[in-house]
Each structure stands twice: as structure tokens, then as C-alpha cells.
Amino acid sequence: MKSSTATKPAWDRLWLGAHLATMTGGPAYNDRQNPAGVGELRDAALAIKDGRIAWVGSRQQLDNMPWSAANVTLAEGLWITPGLVECHTHLVYGGDRSNEFAARLRGATYEEISRAGGGIVATMRATRTASEDQLLEQSLPRALALAAEGVTTLEIKSGYGLDLDSELKMLRVAQRIGEVTGLAVIKTFLGAHALPPEFMGRQEEYVRHVCDDMLPAVAKARLADAVDVFCERIAFTQEQTRRIFERARELGLPARLHADQLSDGNGGEIAADCGALSADHLEHTSERSLQRMAERGVVAGLLPGAFYYLRETKLPPIERLRELNIPMAVSTDCNPGTSPIASLLTAMNMACVMFRLTAAETLRGVTVNAARALGLAQDRGTLEVGSRADLAIWRLRHPEQLCAEVGVHRPVEIVLANKLKTPR
């Protein structure tokens, strides 16, 4: 390490000798197109300044230049990845649905449970009656569990209130989770998640209510970063979905979509037509929809937890996603009924084992591609100069262990935009 009287970069913190999984290396999104894997850089150095990555390179490069840092960490043998990005959750809710788990074990389907008054509407009742503080108390442990695994950016949807006051309450709780944990919380309004009982038989009236009343109020309160819709035969039609997204666009809110989970509802095509950031689930997506997603750069959100809990047999079209070079994100879909999983590392293993993603595809799926699914690809999800300094630091032989070994690994350090955290 050289010192010099020349002008030196005054970094806030520097890690020396670490191995980096930069998640850079080209525009391709999967192993068919991108043999660079996770963008490994061994025996490297990484510096941060004012909440941003200020320098990345080999340790040898650093030895040949002047530098200064307020804090220097010798990180030999450690791996640094971008902070993990959890891009699809429903983790704010009241009550639980463990009774439905038992019903599914007896053979009940998702649709049967939903049509019998369970599912989303059951959680709606518990969420409506809970106070904001009660919802925070119930939901915070789920967020902390994700944070302890290296998650630094967390998407949280509403959708269990299904009336304006309750939806706003959920979004405020999501905001408070960010304030309490320090996580970057991305809030998504999902008022079109299911038809509330008071609108039974009046679905069109509810859609008008979402468009004319709920969306403007949410936008005015600045409580949402995006809008989602459950486009499915038991939820909202293709035409209704398009109308909701058009209203969201008028209000400056981007779209993301629950698409083709239970049937082919042209969800991928709708997502592409409406400029959605992502289309999630995709078990029944058609070739036409995939082609449109590829043309428009829509991210495929893969949710293996729901596939697992529902004991589905039809896989998302992974090989076609590869062939069309559609970016694949991976998420827990953390929710009370069909994926009560608050472990992104577990979802990563599921993505490899059940969906046959490679470890490198999965690691990109919870970093750069998950950031892309949230419209944040220019800001986080990679280790490169200018990116937000969200880091997870691991004691590993290789990051592939995060996918291969379940229940073993936790980061030794987490950095949230320059703020150091020790995982709980």
C-alpha cells in the first residue's frame, strides 16, 4: 500500500483482500447468454463513500495508487455480494392461515379454498381489525428474518385491506418497517388483489373504486412506489387489469403484475403492453406472452415458494426464458397462505432444485435482476462504482454455497448505504 502527498480519495471505508461477486459482466441475464457467472473478482478491494461504492478493483491495482480511508478492513477469505434484493412479498398482514395448510394437505386446491371464503379474504378480515401497531408487531419479525439473511432492499405489497383505510394502513406499516429496520422498503399498492365481500357481485364497481378513489388517494399520500394487480380467473380480468394500470400510469406509478399463476390469462402480454416492470409467477404463460416480455424487457419474477406450497406440477417456462434472454428474478412471495416463507436463501435453493436455475442465475436473480424488477437496476444489485453501498459480507468458499446449503449461512456483516449492521 502506497502513501502519497498527491490528492487522495478520502473513502469512508475500504475492504482489502475480499473476493467480490460483482454481478456485472455484460447485458445478458442467464447462463446460456452470460458465461461470466456472478462476475467474480478475487483478492480485490472495494471502497465506499457517502453511501455509494466509490472504487472496485484488484488489490494489486490499489497497491499502485494513492488512497486514504477512514476505516480499513482486512477481509481476506471473505466474499462480498451486493445486498440481496427481495422483490415480491406480502409480509404485512394480520392473523395466520395455518388451517388452510391443513386443508391443502387433505387435497383442497387454492381455488377451492378461495371460493369457500378463505385465502386472501380470510387474511383481509384479520388485517382490517388489526391496529397499525399490531400489524407492525406481527410483520416486523418477518422483515427482520429476511434482513438477517442479507436482504437490504425489501418490496412489500398491500392487498389485504381491500378498502381505502386498510390499504393505507398497510402501506404505512410497510413504511414504518423501513424506518425501524433501516432496510430500503419499496411499497406496492395491490388494491386489486381480490374482491372484498362488500362488493360481491359488483366487481366492475370495485374496479371503478380502485381507479377513481383508491389509486388517487394512495398517490396523494405518497405511500406507494408501484401498483400491482392479481390478473387471474378468480381475481381480475385482463380488461380490468389494463384499466387499473392505465390509471396508475396517469398518476405516475409503474406497474408490476401477478401473471398466469393458475391459468393462461395473457398476463405476460398485458405486462408488456402496459410497460410493467415485472410479471410474476408465470407457470401458465404462453409463447406469445414470452415473446412480448422479451421485446419489452419485462422481468420474469419466479416464486418457487408458492409453487412448493401449492404442490404445483407445471413449471414456469425456464428454458424459454433463457432462450429469449428474459431476466429472471427470484423471490420468496412471503405471504400468509401460499408461501409463508421469510427466507430468501431458502427460496434460492428452491429455485435451483425445483426450477432448475443454476446457482449463478439464482444469485443474479436476488441481486441485479431483482433490482431490475423494482426499477432499480441503475442504483443497486451490483458491485460497481456509483451503485448504492448495500453489501452482504459472507464467510464462504464460494457464493454458490448460498444456494446449495440450506439453514447454514448468515452474513457476517451487512452494510446498508454505508451504515454497518450486524445480523441478528
Whole-prediction pTM value? 0.95
Whether residue 2 is contained in a domain is answered as no
In a domain, 417, yes or no: yes
- How far apart, in whole angstroms, are the C-alpha atoms of residue 248 and residue 250? 5
* Structure confidence at residue 104 (pLDDT): 87
Q: Are 59 and 176 found together in one domain?
A: no
Residues 43 and 89 in one domain: no
Claim to verify: residue 211 and residue 227 sit in the same structural domain? yes
Domain that holds residue 397: 11-82+382-421
Output the pLDDT for position 114: 83
Annotated binding residue 88: yes
CA angle 422, 351, 225 (to 5 degrees): 65
Say what the pLDDT of residue 195 is. 95
395, 364: one domain: no
Residue 189 within any structural domain of the chain: yes
One domain, residues 331 and 394: no
Give the integer Cα–Cα distance in Å for 338 and 356.
21
| Amino acid at the residue 59 | R
Per-residue pLDDT tens over the stretch 232-246:
999 999 999 999 999
pLDDT of residue 36: 57
122 and 36 fall within a common domain = no
Helices (H), 106-131: 110-115, 120-129
> Are 246 and 143 in a shared domain?
yes
On whether 71 is known to bind a ligand per the annotation, the reply is no
Alpha helix ranges (H) inside 13-109: 59-63, 98-105
Query: Are 57 and 199 in a shared domain?
Result: no
Q: Are residues 171 and 209 in the same domain?
A: yes
26 is known to lie in a ligand binding site:
no
Helix, strand, or coil (residue 330): strand
b/e per residue, 184-220, with b = 16+ CB within 10 A? bbbbbbbbbbbbbeeeeeeeeebbebbbeebbeebbe
Q: Is the distance from CB of 332 to CB of 305 less than 8 angstroms?
A: yes
What's the total number of domains in the chain?
Answer: 2
Q: Are residues 413 and 325 in the same domain?
A: no
Whether 3 is covered by a domain: the verdict is no
CATH number for the domain spanning 356: value is: 3.20.20.140
Judgement on whether residues 65 and 173 belong to the same structural domain of the protein: no
In a domain, 305, yes or no: yes
Is 5 part of any domain? no
What amino acid occupies position 283?
Answer: E
Walk along the chain (424 residues) in steps of 10 and give the mean pLDDT of each run: 53 97 75 71 97 97 92 97 99 94 89 86 96 99 98 99 99 98 98 96 98 99 99 96 99 98 96 99 98 98 97 97 97 97 99 97 97 97 98 98 97 90 60
Does residue 60 have a known ligand-binding role?
A: no
**Domain membership flag for residue 136:** yes
pLDDT of residue 3: 39
What CATH code is carried by the domain that includes residue 412? Answer: 2.30.40.10
Q: Please tell me the predicted confidence (pLDDT) of residue 424.
A: 55
* Domain match, 88 and 53 both: no
Q: Rounded distance, CA 261 to CA 359, Å?
A: 24
* 4 falls within a domain: no
Q: Is residue 261 part of an annotated ligand binding site?
A: yes
